[in-house]
Amino acid sequence: MLDRYQRPAMASIWSLQSQYDSWLEVELAVVKTQAEMGLIPADAAMQIIEKAAFDVGEIAEIETVVKHDVIAFVTSVEGNVGPPARYFHYGLTSSDVLDTALALRLVRASEIIRQDLVYLLESLRAKALQHVDTPIIGRSHGVHAEPTTLGLKLAGFHAEFARSLKRFGQALDEISVGQISGPVGNYSARSLSPELEEKVLAKLGLRPTPVSSQVVPRDIHARYFQTLALLATSVEHLSVEIRLLARTEVAEVEEAFGRGQKGSSAMPHKKNPILSENLAGLARVVRGLASAALDDVVLWHERDISHSSAERFLAPDITVLIDFMLARLRSLVDGLVVRPERMLENLAMTGGLYNSQEIMLALCDSGLSRVEAYALVQKDAMAAAAGEGGFRALIEADKEIASRLPEGELERVFNVRRFNRYTQDIFRRLGLLGD
């Protein structure tokens, strides 16, 4: 992973030192449990626990000869422990260590991601409440539809990320499993049993996967990484909305632009939405990486290692990128420049055309069929859109329509605040406001 897209806490989880630390953590949990259950001598276990250590450089050197990273790791530890090391890695297969240690690191990475999501939700809530009544034109197909509020837009994204937090919690729970079950998952070694597996994993804060082959089933990992891919897509969703609202022709929001910042090497006037564009690009990377997790589900028989090389990239890279993306998005939301005056200008751009539905419904109430009412309103709406006059003026001059409207109806219809009358109810339903 490029340094520019990683934050220190998450990066440290996926360092080579951390990898071997987690392997040793698993190995020592096994040693302690085997000694507690009388499966290995207690004094040997004590010496292993006291002396177990490794050297990253030495592991690399050993691996050039043995071509097996776990054997190289175990060999390095054995050199520090001495004769009692015959009870180190006792009865285990490599995947017992690798998969359980991977779960440990995914859980630790997930703790960071979960906190990132909580912080982002706090920022979205604050910004949504700040603009709960800030009117903005809603758009469908990119075309003016009816007014809404900026707060309601942001509340929608808050709800989307709240769903992500819930899904992520479920995926995290599912990924919090390991195995200490031997070469084909049936506890064949004298030093293994389902009871020992449960006790070891409890020490590590994990649960046993109900059945393993030589590996933890990869559909569990696939679900986790697909959940992160969906989260990345939600990041892109909000980022694209910001980019669309920041276009010169719209200009309703813009990214914060720091003192001394430059937008273009050629055009000094440019203030580009580079943060949201960056997030959209990184979301594509996450989705691409997550697709490999689906392929990793299909392994030959009890296990092959086609998943191994892919996971060396996708596990650290996806979690590192998600951590970076959520932090950047939070910063983007916190610093977002909102331009309510431009929103009002854009609302006025069509001369109130967005009130067409309410005029149509009023005509339906007067006794016209919906088809008749639609045709009458559409005629004046199309004329207004063609520049033949303001929509309200055309409605007032249209005797077929004006004669059917109650006194004061146009004042009510053309008051933009009517579109906000249930906004706070929606906020309460989302839990963004008190009762």
Distance (Å, whole) CA 44 – CA 31? 9
- The DSSP string of 315-328 is HHHHHHHHHHHHHH
Distance (Å, whole) CA 157 – CA 164? 10
Distance (Å, whole) CA 151 – CA 159? 12
Tell me how far apart the 2 most distant CA atoms of the chain are, in Å: 103
- The DSSP string of 190-252 is TT--HHHHHHHHHHTT-EE-SS-SSS--HHHHHHHHHHHHHHHHHHHHHHHHHHHHTSTTT-S
Side chain identity at 349, as an amino acid letter? M
Distance (Å, whole) CA 2 – CA 7? 10
Distance (Å, whole) CA 23 – CA 16? 11
SS (H, E, C) 351-382: CCHHHHHHHHHHHHHCCCCHHHHHHHHHHHHH
> In this structure, are residues 352 and 414 in contact, taking their beta carbons and an 8 Å threshold?
yes
The DSSP call for residue 406 is P
* Catalytic-role residue among 140, 141, 265, 403: 141
Distance (Å, whole) CA 302 – CA 185? 9
* φ, ψ (nearest 5 deg) of residue 217: -55, 135
Distance (Å, whole) CA 162 – CA 160? 5
Tokens of 150: 């900026």
- Name 33's Cβ contacts closer than 8 Å, sequence gap at least 6: 196, 199, 200, 203
Distance (Å, whole) CA 408 – CA 16? 73
How would you class 386 by CB atoms within 10 Å of its CB: exposed for 0-12, middle for 13-18, buried for 19 or more? exposed
Distance (Å, whole) CA 3 – CA 187? 42
* φ, ψ (nearest 5 deg) of residue 343: -65, -40
* Catalytic-role residue among 12, 15, 188, 264: 264
Distance (Å, whole) CA 27 – CA 80? 15
Q: Please confirm, yes or no, whether 264 is among the known catalytic residues.
A: yes
Please give the positions annotated as active site.
Answer: 141, 264
